[in-house]
Amino acid sequence: MSAITREEVAHLARLSRLALADEELDHFAAQLDQIVGAVARVAEVATADIPPSSHALPLTNVFRPDVVAPSLTPEQALSGAPAVEDDRFRVPRILGEEA
């Protein structure tokens, strides 16, 4: 059973802006398939009396008060950036429309 197709890997690669070669598509399709297969085993133990959850802890309503905390300095914030211009993160040309 191969749940993950080459086309799906190519689609994900485009969304993630990853340039994958043809042979890599096959390589990752197989890997992703294994991962999905491993995760799918959860479905085998899930029964009607186990509600689906999206968090490890059975908590709700964890909020923080609306209080300002110190920010980083621009120097600190930008210290890990590959490129900086005018105290801003410099990124390569963006192909695509503005979100």
Partner 1 sequence: MPYDEALERFEPVLGLETHVELGTNSKMFCGCPTTFGAPPNTHVCPTCLAFPGALPVANAVAIESTIRIGLALNCSIAEWCRFARKNYFYPDMPKNYQISQYDEPLCFDGYLDITVEGKTVRIEIERVHLEEDTGKSTHVGGATGRIQGADHSIVDYNRAGIPLVEIVTKPIEGTDRLAPEVARAYATELREVMRSLGVSDVRMDQGSMRCDVNVSLMPRGSTEWGTRTETKNVNSFRSVERSVRGEIERQAAILAEGGRIIQETRHFHEDTGLTTSGRSKEEAQDYRYFPEPDLVPIAPDPAWVAQLKAELPELPSVRRARLQAEWGVSDLDMAAMHNADAFGLVEATVEAGAPAADARKWWMGELARRANENGVALAELPITPAQIARVTELVKSGALNDKLARQVLEGVLAGEGSPDEVVEARGLKIVNDEGELSAIIDQVIADNADAADKIRGGKIAAVGALVGGVMKASRGKADAGRARALILEKLGVTE
Residues at the contact surface with partner 1, assessed by CB under 8 A:
11, 14-17, 54-55, 57, 59-74, 77-78, 85-94, 96-99
Residues with Cβ < 8 Å from 28, sequence gap 6 or more? 9, 20
Residue 18 C-alpha from the chain's centroid: 13
Least distance CB 6 / partner 1 (angstroms): 16
Least distance CB 80 / partner 1 (angstroms): 8
Considering beta carbons, is residue 22 or 87 the nearer one to partner 1?
Answer: 87
Considering beta carbons, is residue 23 or 71 the nearer one to partner 1?
Answer: 71
Considering beta carbons, is residue 17 or 41 the nearer one to partner 1?
Answer: 17
Exposure letters 3-15 (e unless 16+ CB within 10 A, then b)? ebeeeebbeeeee
Residue 95 C-alpha from the chain's centroid: 20
Least distance CB 16 / partner 1 (angstroms): 6
Task: Give the integer Cα–Cα distance in Å for 9 and 2.
Answer: 12
Considering beta carbons, is residue 23 or 64 the nearer one to partner 1?
Answer: 64
